[in-house]
Structure 1
Amino acid sequence: MSKPTIISLDLAKKVIQVCKVNSYGELLFNKAMSPQKTKDLLANSPPCVVAMEGCASFHYWARVAQSFGHEVRGMAPKKVKPYIRNQKTDANDAIGIAIASTQLGMTFCQVKNLSQQNVQAIQVSRKWFDRTITSLGNHMRALCFEYGATIALGKKSLRQAITQFNSPESKDLPEQIKPLLMI
């Protein structure tokens, strides 16, 4: 049984480190490419294994590789780390990704299709907005409390108190602080 050719990608925003290893385990090349040249390489390569760390843009690049008939192997960065030798560079990372993708027992990430990725993006964003709103509310309560003004729990109580504190006739907070509470 022959080994597959492996193209490993160390993903980044503007430059992608691409390492290609043939079925005999020989390093054919390991060079930095633009995203467009990486797409061209994937389009012009016969079906092979495309290996990547499961990080930002993984699902996008995995779908691109799959559209050209490649088998995608995405791995958690912590699973790849033991296979990276020497200094941490993009070139060494790409080689480590290629080596890790061939190891027995390695677990691979499932590639999300576009609708699955959309649902995940909405869920993650909602959680982030909720944490941010809670954090901002707590900050505003603490800021007011520093001046002796207390606010009951709940979003409605916060809104009412901030409206009251920002009114021109309110003397609960100094005039310099009131603009900080404008939403």
Structure 2
Amino acid sequence: MFDVIGVDTAKNVFQLHGVDHDGAGILRKKITREEFLPYFQALPRSCVGMEACAASHHWARQLTALGHDVKLIPAQYVKPFVKHAKNDATDAAAFCEAMRRPDMAFVPMRSAENQAALGLLTMRD
């Protein structure tokens, strides 16, 4: 079904963009935070790409627990793939495009304990 799904996370609404093996866009969907995990629970195992930020590590752990392969990408590596005016939908499409690059560098997913420790270090600074 989906080869890659790009997710642009936000506070309340997430934008999804999915492509098939040939790179054709077959999913463009906006879903709420409450619909996010149930939606991915119903999907077959997919490769999911998101921006590497604090919240995405949480969502990556949740999606990994559901059986999906999650890759976190630094925002500066995705920026060249935004084709039109920057918005949530084009950002999600750019994640799909970046995920398909063979030389893309990904950020390792952090555990909850690691994130909490980094939060303490940041507060001290």
Aligned-residue offset at 1:57: 0.6
Match for residue 44 of structure 1? 42
TM-score computed with the length of structure 1 as normaliser: 0.65
> What one-letter code is carried by the residue in structure 1 that aligns with 2:41?
A
Question: What is the 5 A alignment of 1:9-48?
Answer: 9-48=7-46
**Max radius of gyration: which structure?**
1
> What one-letter code is carried by the residue in structure 1 that aligns with 2:13?
V
* Identity value in percent: 28
Structure having the higher strand fraction is 2
Deviation sequence 1:55-84 (CA, Å, 0-9, x none) = 241101101110111111111100000001
Task: Tell me, in whole angstroms, the C-alpha distance in 1 between the residues paired with 2:19 and 2:36.
Answer: 15
Question: What is the 5 A alignment of 1:23-102?
Answer: 23-102=21-100
Task: Tell me, in whole angstroms, the C-alpha distance in 2 between the residues paired with 1:33 and 1:97.
Answer: 17
Match for residue 7 of structure 1? 5
Aligned-residue offset at 1:104: 1.6
Alignment check: 8 A CA contact 1:18 1:38 kept: no
Task: Tell me, in whole angstroms, the C-alpha distance in 1 between the residues paired with 2:111 and 2:104.
Answer: 22
Over the residues paired in the alignment, what is the CA RMSD in angstroms?
1.2
Partner SS, residue 13 of structure 1 = coil
Question: What is the 5 A alignment of 1:109-148?
Answer: 109-127=107-125
Deviation sequence 1:110-153 (CA, Å, 0-9, x none) = 001111111111111111xxxxxxxxxxxxxxxxxxxxxxxxxx
Task: Tell me, in whole angstroms, the C-alpha distance in 2 between the residues paired with 1:24 and 1:56.
Answer: 31
Which segments of 5 or more consecutive residues in structure 1 lack a partner in the other structure? 128-183
Aligned-residue offset at 1:31: 1.9
Aligned-residue offset at 1:97: 0.7
Task: Tell me, in whole angstroms, the C-alpha distance in 2 between the residues paired with 1:44 and 1:126.
Answer: 42
Aligned-residue offset at 1:51: 0.2
Aligned-residue offset at 1:13: 0.4
Larger relative contact order (CA 8 Å, sep ≥ 6): 2
Aligned-residue offset at 1:40: 1.3
Partner SS, residue 5 of structure 2 = strand
Task: Tell me, in whole angstroms, the C-alpha distance in 1 between the residues paired with 2:61 and 2:46.
Answer: 14
